[in-house]
Structure 1
Amino acid sequence: MAVADLSTKALLTPAAVDRSVRRARLMKRLTVGIPLAVVLLLFAACFLGPVLLSLPRPIGGDVLSSSLPPGSPGHPLGTDINGNDVLSRLLHGGQASLIVAVAVNAIGLTIGGLIGALAAYLGGKADTVIMRALDVLIAFPSLVLTIAIAQVLGPSLPNTILALSAFAIPGVARVARSSTLRVTAMPFVQAAALGGSPWWRTLLFHIAPNVLPQLMNFAMLGMGIVIVTEGALSFLGLGIPAPAPSWGNMIYEGQQSLSATPLLVLWPSLALLVAVLSFNLLGENLRDEMSGR
């Protein structure tokens, strides 16, 4: 019994507790730092890689050099059936997918965040009308609604962003509303209102800074969803129009010759997997970090 008590006391020494705390902090930093590093690496590879590596254009390849295997001179990942460099198309396709994801989430955060915050702050009939309108949009299956809008607008990069923004805004608005309701009930917001602060100043300087972290965490999760949905639209021919590359239409083009050249599907699929997994892990770990704080 005495030996057990001594071992327990040894485990509870200040040095042991300090090591345990530092280890826990390191693990938290790694769970956020690793996916963040992968995300930054993706952006750097897609936007700087084609310039630094002096890669050929992603379209207009030489058909005489079609279907070259990986490791061919001047083509590290080979070429597709049209003679286009696969690595160049992969990185330029990543540019399109990441631009769409960033733009859609920026629109969602701006418009959806403003709508949700106003609905919660104003309350009453304004809140009811705004939220019922958003409920109507949320009631539609998001992918079906996006496909319908993309079909009407036609395939292009701006139209893809608009189509995907249609289902990003309601989700952000609901998160902004719930966060604003929680912050509005806090004493410092009530004190600002009682002190004569205009509603727009209270919303902008007191509520928004406390709501923004939750919206940013939600946006990180939304990045992965948007990338997958954009890939689905491009796969169906409703997203980024060919011959311009995106990961979705690269998968579509590659599956037409899947048995002969499976790597044409593998490379964009792996890129899509890494991007979505990294954004999802970053969003979840940021959310856990903010919840802990």
Structure 2
Amino acid sequence: MAMVDASSVLLTEEAPSSRGWLRHVELAVPIVLLVLTVGGCFLWPLIGSVPSPVGGDVLSSDLPPFSPGHLLGTDPNGNDVWARILYGGRNSLIVGVAVNVIGLSIGGTLGAVSAFAGGIADTLIMRLLDVLIAFPSLVLVLAVAQSLGPSQLNTIFALAFFSVPAFARIARAATLRLREQPFMVAAMLCGTGTRRTLFRHIAPNIAPQLITFSMLGMGITIVIEGALSFLGLGIPAPAPSWGNMIAQGQQSLSATPLLVVWPCVALFLTVLAFNLLGETLRGRWSGR
């Protein structure tokens, strides 16, 4: 019996340490992927020798990977594929970050104010957002992008507009839970102003939920931006994005499949990193 008890104690002591090591890995893997992606897309062109992503030499078209001066080869227009991956990733990441910052700022503010104010203000704000949620967002994004025309700014506007309701609902639900907490009741009884309450008590406490959702939203936004660019409604050629690189590569898919593979791999790894980071942060902040 003594040996059994000792082994059970040993197992219970080892489990937390192994779990702690796993949690560090879960956080480290997506962070490393994102650091490599962001560093490669934004810093490498500044400090490394990266050719221009447009205006290539047609005489150097369709070079295979590891050709002299072209790590991943060239496309049918003679543009360096590695350069287009980096600059295309920069454009895709800018869209993803901008959309989620706008959605978090506007939607988070609307949701927090709606829940804190209550009454008719809460009803009006949430019913308006419900109307937006009721429409098929992807179809409306396509319609808005088509009507505004393909550009990076229009893509950001179209996607940000439909990200606001989701952030607002998350902020509202988190704020409603906070209103019942003792520190919030004490703040209201002490006569703390609305602005101070929102910025000092509510915003810091709902930030983890909003940041976690924004990490997951980054992956979704980058995929949708890629789909819009694939359809010619996102970032217009010749400016690179992973979506329009895939669209251009499919025209010569049988002859040069790597022109589609490279941007697909970059898109997959980036979206995977954001999803893993979002899930890990959600687990940590929820106490799991």
Aligned-partner Cα distance in 2 for 1:241–1:203: 41
| Matching residue within 7, 10, 29 for 1:11 | 7
What secondary structure, in the 3-state scheme, does the structure 2 residue paired with 1:75 have?
A: coil
| 1:108-127 matches, cutoff 5 A | 108-127=103-122
Q: Which amino acid aligns with 2:231?
A: L
Q: Which amino acid aligns with 2:217?
A: G
Aligned-partner Cα distance in 1 for 2:83–2:3: 60
- Deviations along 1:125-176, whole A, 9 cap, x unmatched? 1111111110111111121111111111111111110011011111000000
Aligned-partner Cα distance in 1 for 2:35–2:65: 26
- For structure 1, the residue ranges without an aligned partner over 5 or more in a row are none
| Matching residue within 124, 129, 149 for 2:144 | 149
Instruction: Please state how far the C-alpha of 1:51 moved relative to its aligned partner.
Output: 2.6
| Matching residue within 236, 258, 263 for 2:253 | 258
Which residue does 2:184 correspond to in 1?
189
Aligned-partner Cα distance in 2 for 1:22–1:269: 37
Correspondence 1:55 to 2:50: yes
Bigger Cα displacement from structure 2, 64-73 vs 49-58: 49-58
Which residue does 2:284 correspond to in 1?
289
| Matching residue within 148, 154, 157 for 1:159 | 154
Aligned-partner Cα distance in 1 for 2:25–2:287: 16
Which residue does 1:203 correspond to in 2?
198
Aligned-partner Cα distance in 1 for 2:256–2:137: 33
Which residue does 2:90 correspond to in 1?
95
Q: Which amino acid aligns with 2:116?
A: Y
| 1:25-104 matches, cutoff 5 A | 25-104=20-99
- Deviations along 1:160-203, whole A, 9 cap, x unmatched? 10011011111000000000101111010110010010011111
Aligned-partner Cα distance in 1 for 2:162–2:276: 22
Which residue does 1:270 correspond to in 2?
265
Aligned-partner Cα distance in 2 for 1:138–1:206: 28
Q: Which amino acid aligns with 1:129?
A: L
Aligned-partner Cα distance in 2 for 1:10–1:48: 54
Aligned-partner Cα distance in 2 for 1:48–1:164: 26
Aligned-partner Cα distance in 1 for 2:176–2:257: 51
Instruction: Please state how far the C-alpha of 1:16 moved relative to its aligned partner.
Output: 4.8
Instruction: Please state how far the C-alpha of 1:288 moved relative to its aligned partner.
Output: 1.0
Which residue does 1:20 correspond to in 2?
15
Which residue does 1:248 correspond to in 2?
243
Matched residue pairs, number?
A: 288
Instruction: Please state how far the C-alpha of 1:52 moved relative to its aligned partner.
Output: 3.0
What secondary structure, in the 3-state scheme, does the structure 2 residue paired with 1:44 have?
A: helix
- For structure 2, the residue ranges without an aligned partner over 5 or more in a row are none
What secondary structure, in the 3-state scheme, does the structure 1 residue paired with 2:240 have?
A: coil
